[in-house]
């Protein structure tokens, strides 16, 4: 369920970037190309990724390019076997190196099943907080749009950005809006103590629970990425595992996101620094 929701949000972001006619985006990590129609196809996809020796590597979900470079990017992707083959090719491959050289930014995508404008602490101004030693923030447990980065992803993403030299941004999609944050800025917020770790508990269908640390960066620290101009439909879906266990869930379909002027300015600023 969470995977399909993530794929939906990535597709909305790709469509929003492409609609600007100044930039375009392509899926780069496995989340945008993995099949979601059946559990077995999903498993086989990641088995193949493991066999390729790339199963444990972390790659950003999207790459964003200037429209003027579309022909070059499409030729490189075609030569690599298509979008669906990119996750199976080592980044030491010259085609992927050329692709990364042309990219303006790389994007790690996150999504939340909230209508941001209705969250209780949306538009609440930051104030000095005792728990933050007088630094600006909100009360503990405030409910508002956040740009989330998982602790387990920080080091792999940091290393990827260092090795590949492509500026990394996190784009977080809500039901009605989206926000962006540069990864370097997120790391600065953590180092300065403005964002502290939150331990979140995840429960599997079988009952097992795991705890993971995440960083919820207030949307105030990021930039408005866009607003929804058409809402998605909520559709019923179901998966059945190999033991015959049927798991019903809800999936998203359709909807439209329009990038903000602030987001376009941010991308253009990075493009100028990249040459």
- Model confidence over 163-193: pLDDT tens digits? 999 999 999 999 999 999 999 999 999 999 9
**CB crowding 139-157: b at 16 or more within 10 Å, else e:** eeeeebbbbbbeeebbeeb
Interacting residues of 243 by C-beta distance below 8 A, sequence separation 6+: none
pLDDT at position 205 is 60
Residue 255 has pLDDT above 70, yes or no: yes
CA distance 189 to 154: 13
Q: Give residue 36's pLDDT band: very low, low, confident or very high (50, 70, 90).
A: low
225 closest CA partner among 172, 149, 189, 186: 172
Domains of the chain, residue spans: 2-124+147-193+218-274
- Give me the sheet containing 146-150, strands edge to edge: 146-150, 209-218, 197-203
Tell me the mean pLDDT in the region 74-97. 93
Q: How confident is the model at residue 126, as a pLDDT?
A: 97
pLDDT in the model for residue 56: 64
| Rg (the chain; Cα; Å) | 19
What was the pLDDT predicted at 170? Answer: 98
| Count of beta carbons in the 10 Å neighbourhood of residue 134 | 9
Whole-prediction pTM: 0.90
pLDDT at 55: 55
- Site of tokens 């080592």: 90
Helices 70-79 and 94-102: angle between axes, nearest 10 degrees: 160
Average per-residue pLDDT in the chain?
90
Give whole-number Cα distances, 51 to 31, 47, 54, in Å. Answer: 17, 6, 8
């Amino acid at each position: 369920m969470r995977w399909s929701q993530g794929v939906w949000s990535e597709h909305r972001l790709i469509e929003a970037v492409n609609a600007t006619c100044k930039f375009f985006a392509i899926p780069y990590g496995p989340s945008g190309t993995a099949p979601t129609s059946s559990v077995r196809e999903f498993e086989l996809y990641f088995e193949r990724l493991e066999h390729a020796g790339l199963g444990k590597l972390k790659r950003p979900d999207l790459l964003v390019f200037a429209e003027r470079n579309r022909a070059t990017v499409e030729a490189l992707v075609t030569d690599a076997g298509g979008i669906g083959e990119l996750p199976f090719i080592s980044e030491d491959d010259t085609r992927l190196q050329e692709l990364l050289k042309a990219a303006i930014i790389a994007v790690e995508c996150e999504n939340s099943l909230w209508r941001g404008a209705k969250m209780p602490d949306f538009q609440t101004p930051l104030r000095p907080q005792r728990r933050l030693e007088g630094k600006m923030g909100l009360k503990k447990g405030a409910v508002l749009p956040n740009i989330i980065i998982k602790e387990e992803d920080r080091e792999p993403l940091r290393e990827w950005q260092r090795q590949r030299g492509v500026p990394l941004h996190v784009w977080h999609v809500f039901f009605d809006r989206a926000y962006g944050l540069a990864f370097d800025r997120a790391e600065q917020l953590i180092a300065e103590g403005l964002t502290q770790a939150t331990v979140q508990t995840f429960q599997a269908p079988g009952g097992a629970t795991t705890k993971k640390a995440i960083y919820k960066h207030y949307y105030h620290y990021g930039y408005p990425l866009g607003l929804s101009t058409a809402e998605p439909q909520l559709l019923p879906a179901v998966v059945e595992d190999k033991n015959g266990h049927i798991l019903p869930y809800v999936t998203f379909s359709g909807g439209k996101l329009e990038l903000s002027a602030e987001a376009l300015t941010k991308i253009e600023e990075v493009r100028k620094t990249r040459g």
